[in-house]
Structure 1
C-alpha cells in the first residue's frame, strides 16, 4: 500500500500529525480545567469512602464540603476550608443551643426559634463572608427532620464531623493531586495583565481611542487586576501556612496597578491636547517601546525567566519627545496653545518618565520571583 499509493500515505501521515497537534493544543489550553476536575473527583470519592467507613449518617454533607473546599489553588482551598469549617461549627453549635432552649413543635414556635437562630448569625455573615454558611447550618440543625429524630446535639455533632471530614480531604486533595500554587498562578495572571496593558499602549501610541473602547481594554485590565489581587491573597495564605516558599507576588500586583494608572493618565492627556506631527512621532515610539517592554516582561513571567533590566529604546524615545518640546519652545510654537495644552504636553513627558521607572520596577519584581521561586 505504501509503495503503490505514496500520496495517500503522505496525506494520512499529515492528517495524523495535524490531529495530534490540535489535540495537544486543546489539552494544554484545558489542562487547568481537567486538573481541577480530576482533583474534585478524587476528593469527592475519597470523602464518600471515608464517610461510609466511619458510619456517618449523612455522608453527602461531607462530599459537598470536599467539593466546596477543593479550589483552583492551595491558598483558595485553605480559605474555603477555614470558612466552611468555622461557619459550620458556629451554626451547628448555636442552632443546637436554640433547638434545646426553645420548643419548636408548632408553626408559630418554629418561626420564633428560626428568627432567634438566624438573626444573630445573619449579622455575623453580613460582617464577614467567612460566616455565610453559619445561618444555613443553624437552619438545618433546627428544622431538619433528621435532627428531630436524633436530637439537636447529636445531629449538630454529626454535622461538624461530616463538614470537618470533607474539609480535611478537600485540603488533602488540593495538596496531593497535582497541587496548584497561587504564587505561580499569580505570575501567569500578572503576565496576562501586562499583555493587556501592552495592547493599550499600542493603541495609545496611534492615538486611537476608538480601538481601546472597542476592545474594552480598560475593563479587561481592571478585571485581570482584580483576579490578580485574589491570587495574591491566596498566595499569602500559602506562605502563612508554610505550604509555599516562593516570593510574594504582592509587589508585582502593586506595580501593575501603577502601570494601569500610567495608562489612564496618558490616555487622558493625549486625548485633551493635539500633539501635532513633531510630538506625535516621538510619542508613538515611546508608547510602542513601552508595549514591547511589557510583552517581554510578560514572556519572562510565563517562562519564569529574567526579563531585561533596562530598555534603551524607551529612554531614547522619551529623550526624543523632550527634545521635540524644546524645539517647539525654541521656535515659539507653544504660544498658540492654551495654558492647559502646554501643561498637558509637559505632563506627558513627566508621565513617560514615571512609566519608565514603573516598567523597571516591574522587571525587578519579576526577577525576584525567579530568584526565590
Structure 2
C-alpha cells in the first residue's frame, strides 16, 4: 500500500481536519481569555463554520451568525416578556420560542441556528442566574468569536479555494460524460445496456449536483472578492446541456439500429465516438492543467463525415421504409449529435475563459 499516494489523494480532507482542530482550539482559548460563560460554544461554532472550501466557510459563517442574532433577539424577548417561573410555564415558553424559529428555519436554511440559540438564551439565565438580555449578548459574542476564528483559519491555514474545487469537479463530470458517450455510441449496432447506462447517468447526476454546490461556493468567494475566476453559470449550463444530449443519445440507441443502416454508419459513428470522448477528456485535462482546450477540428470533421454518411443513406432510399420507431430513433440520433456540436462549441469557450482567468491570476501574483 502506497501511503504517500493515499495521503496525496486525501490531502483536502486531511487539511480540513487540521483546520477544524486549529479552529476549535483557538476559538476555545480566545473565548476563555474573554471570560465568556460558555467558551465551548465558541469552539463548537468554529468547528461548524470551518468547511472544505473558503467559499463554503464564508457562507456557513454568515448563515450561522444571522441565525444566532435572530434566535438571540427572539429568545431574549421571550425570556424578558413571557413569565416562566415554574416548570409548566417554562414548557410553554420553550414551545413559544422554538415554534416560530423552527418554521422560519424550514423556509430559510440560513436561520437553522436560530432555534438552538433561542432555547439557549431562554435556558441559560435559569442556570447561570443572569438576565435574558445578558444571555443573548453572550451567545452573540461567543458565536462571533467562533465564527471569526473559523473563517480566519479557513483563509490562512491551507486555504482551499472553491474556484479550484469547481475546476476539479467540472473535469470529473466531463470525464464521466465522455465515458457514457463512448458506451452509448458503441452500442448503436447492438443496443444499449440500459441498466449499465442508468448507473452511469446516476453517477453523472450525483457529480453534477456536487458541481452545482461547489459552483455556489465559488460564487460566494467571487462576491467577497476572495477569487477572481469567471462566473460558474456558463460552465454549469453547458455541462447541463451536454447531460441532456447524453440522455437523448441514450434513448436513440436503446435499441439496435436497422442492420443495413448500422453497417453503413458503423465507421462514421466510431469516429464520432472516438473524437467526442477524446475531446471531453481533453477539456477536463485542460482545466486541471490550466492550459488551452484541445482543438475541435477532429470532432467537427467526424460529425461532418457522419452527416455525409446520413445524406448518402437518405439519397439511396434506405430511410424510406423505416418503421415509425426506427425512424424516430434514427433521426433522434442525428438531432442529439447536432445539439452536441453547438454545446461543445460553448464548452470550448468556457474552458478557454477559465484557463485565461487562471493565467491572469498567476501573472498578477508573479
Q: Deviations for 1:213-265, whole angstroms, at most 9, x for unmatched residues?
A: 27811111111111111111111111111111122222111111110010001
Query: Where does residue 208 of structure 2 map in the other structure?
Result: 225
SS of residue matched to 1:184: helix
**Change in CA separation of 1:209 and 1:340 when aligned onto 2, cut-off 3 Å:** closer
Q: Which residues of 2 match residues 269-348 of structure 1 at below 5 A?
A: 269-272=252-255, 274-275=257-258, 276-312=262-298, 314-348=299-333
Q: Is 1:370 matched up with 2:355?
A: yes
TM-score (norm 2): 0.91
Residues 108-164 of structure 1: per-residue CA shift (max 9 Å, x gap): 212221222122212211110001110111112213465561221111111110001
* Map 1:1-373 → 2, pairs under 5 A: 22-144=2-124, 149-207=129-187, 209-210=192-193, 213=196, 216-272=199-255, 274-275=257-258, 276-312=262-298, 314-373=299-358
- The structure 1 segments of at least 4 consecutive aligned residues displaced by more than 3 Å after TM superposition are 144-148
- Looking at structure 1, the residues matched to 263 and 124 of structure 2 have their Cα atoms a distance apart, in angstroms, of 76
Q: Which runs of 5+ in 1 are unaligned?
A: 1-18
Contact preservation (8 Å) 1:236, 1:248? yes
> C-alpha root-mean-square deviation of aligned residues, in Å?
1.8
Work out the CA distance in 1 between the residues paired with 2:195 and 2:340.
19
Query: Per-residue deviation at 1:272?
Result: 4.8
Asked whether the equivalents of residues 200 and 212 of structure 1 are also in contact (C-alpha less than 8 Å), the reply is no
Contact 2:171 2:283 in 1 (8 A): yes
Bigger Cα displacement from structure 2, 129-138 vs 141-150: 141-150
Deviation, structure 1 residue 165: 0.4
Aligned counterpart, 2:362: none
Report how many aligned residue pairs link the two structures: 352
The range that moved more, 45-54 or 212-221, is 212-221
Between the aligned partners of 1:140 and 1:42, the Cα distance in structure 2 is 26
What is the rounded CA distance, in whole Å, between the counterparts of 1:74 and 1:273 in structure 2? 49
Tell me, in whole angstroms, the C-alpha distance in 2 between the residues paired with 1:254 and 1:147: 53
